[in-house]
Structure 1
Amino acid sequence: METLTAIIRAKPGHEDTVAAELAKVGAFAAEHEPDTIGFFVAQDPDDPCRFTTYERFTDAAARDRHNNGAGSQGFFAAAGHLLDGEVTIVTAREIWPR
């Protein structure tokens, strides 16, 4: 299982829009990306401008299709200008559970 974790910061005052756009990515993945096994979004309760995603894919090719697909690209088109700095991305291979 391939994973991607993203740490995303919204500019102050734009948290709700960024949250809504991230939810759209999750809905798109659930409907159109059968090799995206999970797409989870969390918002830091102490810093509502900070979001974390945890994304699970059948393989690296599925991860790449997701990242280059309409859902992810739509997020950056709609909310990219509302982000505070670069998105931090960590890709990994799950080791537990197997």
Structure 2
Amino acid sequence: MKTISAILRARPGAEDTLRAALLDVAAHVAANEPDTVGFFVSQDAADPTRFTTYERFTDESAMDRHNGSEAVARFFRIAQPILDGEVILVTADEISCR
């Protein structure tokens, strides 16, 4: 299983826009990506400008299809101007899951 973990921070005041953009990607994944077996989005309770995602893919091809999708491209077009700093991405091989 391939995974991506991401940490994103919205500029103050742009939290709702980033949240909506992430949820749009989640909706696209649910409707169109059967090989994306998990797409989790969280908003930090103590710092609402900070969001995390955890994404699970059956294999590298599924991850590449997701990353190359129009939904992800649209997300970054929306998010880029409202991000506060760089997106932290970790791509990994899952070694345990419950």
Quick check: TM above 0.5? yes
CA distance in 1, matches of 2:60, 2:80: 24
Residue 79 of structure 1 and its aligned partner are, at CA, apart by 2.1
Name stretches of at least 5 consecutive residues in structure 2 with no aligned partner: none
Matched residues, percent identical? 58
1:8-47 residue pairs with structure 2 within 5 A? 8-47=8-47
Per the normalisation by structure 1, the TM-score is 0.95
Within the alignment, does 1:81 sit opposite 2:81 as a pair?
A: yes
- How many residues get paired? 98
Which residue in the other structure is 1:71 paired with?
Answer: 71
Which residue in the other structure is 1:90 paired with?
Answer: 90
Residue 33 of structure 1 and its aligned partner are, at CA, apart by 1.1
Residue 96 of structure 1 and its aligned partner are, at CA, apart by 1.3
| CA offset digits 1:34-76 (Å, max 9, x no partner) | 1111100001111111000000000011111111111111101
Name stretches of at least 5 consecutive residues in structure 1 with no aligned partner: none
Secondary structure of the 1:31 match is helix
Residue 82 of structure 1 and its aligned partner are, at CA, apart by 0.7
Residue 97 of structure 1 and its aligned partner are, at CA, apart by 3.0
